[in-house]
């Protein structure tokens, strides 16, 4: 039985974590799962609003992913036929149909030329 | 001819592609419908069905969950054409549209219920409405067609002699005999009215005449109960799309069937089994039955 003179207190503890908003939020590539909470049309609207003309939506015929949002500048360095086998292979290892995967791609072009002296 | 414009549901609940799947589910539940046409501006861009909703995340946009393949048809589409479209595309709904603008919707069940009204329950054969649809379709596909119109002789008397229940069994058997003798895909049989049967065929007129004689012979040769002797009179008319010859009358499908019907009446009067009316031209712009 509770004593009448027992005091009860209610307190709230507030924790803040501040970080800079990553802009644009999708980095280089977004792989959109077939049952993910956002679909290609939503991704297109988002990229058009946040970074107009910088991203391209590519529909995929894949077991897990239905589309990819790719930074256009990246496609100038790596054509889709070279880029997609790599990102899909890695994406498949960690993703499911329900997920959206954000991928950062660092591509370095190495050029060696021999010139006559 | 009954068209989908006559039977369509006009108050269609639609949804915008930017709405959420959750909202679509809410609307479907509220209005007790299984699909919502997706309209962007006044353009039909898809349809979202309960199946799409089951497969998609509730947070998704309708545009990301909808079925983009939409089967539309103008309001003048006949009931039979609509049935063919639904079956061909394997869809549950047909959107009725004109100039890209949504006018209504017809569901598979509605089409089946309506088309079922045009199936004779006694014989299982389609009724005359189907005959006109098939005639038009075959002509539009460039086929030459023949119409065989068969009228059972003195069936009223037979009905009185053996009773209406037994008379119905005779009609059922006649339909079965005819069905067994025609070729599916080129001969289209229907119960035109009480004791009248009609058949549209892509066989040339001469072949149609031969088939007609065979059909009538099979009736005469069948061992009918109670010693009933069953005969019939028939008219055969042929039609093809084209330009009527000088002096000849330009026909519609309706008139072509009528000619065959008059042929059967003439056959009865002349006490001859079959009267071949001949071949008529159906002008391209007069194939309408109405």
* Digit-coded pLDDT (tens) for A70-81: 999 999 999 999
Q: Which residue of B has its CA nearest to A39?
A: B64
Q: Within chain A, which residues score under 50 in pLDDT?
A: none
In this prediction the ipTM stands at: 0.74
pLDDT tens for B61-85 read 999 999 998 999 999 998 888 998 9
The pLDDT value given to residue B144:
86
pLDDT tens for B29-51 read 999 999 999 999 889 999 999 99
**Which positions in chain A touch B64 (Cβ < 8 Å)?**
38-42
- Quick check: helix, strand or coil at residue A103? strand
Distance (Å) from the alpha carbon of A98 to chain B's nearest alpha carbon: 8
Residues of B in Cβ contact (< 8 Å) with A42: 60-61, 63-64
Q: Which of A35, A41, A45 sits opposite B57 (nearest CB)?
A: A35
Q: Which residues from A are below 8 Å from B63, CB to CB?
A: 39, 41-42
Using 50 as the pLDDT threshold, list the residues of chain B that sit under it: 248-250, 285-290
> Up-side HSE of residue A103: CA atoms within 13 Å toward CB?
26
Q: Which residues, other chains included, contact A32 with Cβ-Cβ below 8 Å and sequence gap of 6+?
A: A38, A39, A40, A43, A65, A66, A67, A68, A69, A100
CA atoms lying within 13 Å on the CB side of residue B142: 0
Nearest CA in chain A to B19: A42
Residues of chain B with C-beta less than 8 angstroms from the C-beta of A39: 56, 60-61, 63-65
**Virtual CA dihedral for A19, A25, A28, A33, nearest 10 degrees?**
120
Q: For residue B203, what are the contacts with CB-CB under 8 A and spacing of at least 6?
A: B146, B186, B187, B211
Helices (H) then strands (E): counts for chain B:
10, 10
In B74-206, at which residue ranges do the beta strands (DSSP E only) sit? 93-98, 101-107, 145-152, 187-193, 196-201
Q: Is the pTM of the predicted complex or chain greater than 0.90? A: no
């Amino acid at each position: 039985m509770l004593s009448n003179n027992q005091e009860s207190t209610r307190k709230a503890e507030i924790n803040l974590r501040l970080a800079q908003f990553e802009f644009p939020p999708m980095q280089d590539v977004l792989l959109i799962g077939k049952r993910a909470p956002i679909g290609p049309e939503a991704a297109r609207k988002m990229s058009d609003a946040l970074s107009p003309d910088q991203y391209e939506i590519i529909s995929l015929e894949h077991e897990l992913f239905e589309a990819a949002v790719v930074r256009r500048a990246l496609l100038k360095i790596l054509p889709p036929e070279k880029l997609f086998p790599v990102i899909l292979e890695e994406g498949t290892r960690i993703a499911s149909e329900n997920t959206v995967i954000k991928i950062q791609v660092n591509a370095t072009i190495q050029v060696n030329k021999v010139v006559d002296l | 001819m009954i068209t989908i414009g006559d039977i369509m549901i006009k108050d269609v609940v639609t949804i915008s592609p930017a709405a959420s799947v959750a909202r679509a589910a809410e609307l479907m539940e509220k209005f007790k419908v299984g699909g919502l046409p997706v309209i962007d501006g006044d353009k039909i861009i898809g349809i979202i069905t309960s199946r799409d909703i089951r497969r998609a995340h509730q947070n998704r946009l309708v545009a990301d969950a909808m079925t983009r393949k939409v089967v539309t048809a103008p309001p003048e589409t006949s009931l039979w054409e609509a049935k063919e479209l639904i079956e061909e595309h394997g869809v549950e709904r047909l959107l009725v549209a004109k100039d890209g603008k949504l006018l209504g919707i017809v569901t598979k069940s509605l089409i089946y219920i309506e088309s079922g009204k045009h199936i004779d329950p006694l014989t299982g054969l389609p009724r005359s409405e189907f005959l006109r649809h098939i005639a038009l379709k075959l002509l539009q596909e460039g086929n030459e067609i023949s119409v065989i119109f068969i009228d059972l002789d003195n069936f009223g008397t037979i009905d009185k002699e053996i009773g209406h229940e037994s008379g119905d069994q005779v009609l059922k058997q006649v339909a079965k005999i005819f069905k067994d003798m025609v070729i599916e895909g080129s001969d289209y049989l229907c119960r035109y009215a009480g004791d009248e049967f009609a058949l549209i065929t892509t066989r040339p007129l001469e072949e149609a005449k031969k088939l007609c004689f065979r059909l009538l012979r099979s009736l005469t040769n069948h061992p009918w109960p109670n010693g009933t002797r069953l005969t019939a009179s028939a008219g055969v008319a042929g039609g093809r799309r084209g330009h009527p010859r000088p002096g000849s009358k330009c026909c519609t499908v309706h008139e072509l069937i009528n000619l065959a019907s008059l042929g059967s009446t003439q056959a009865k009067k002349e006490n001859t089994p079959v009267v071949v009316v001949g071949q008529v031209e159906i002008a391209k712009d007069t194939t309408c039955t109405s």
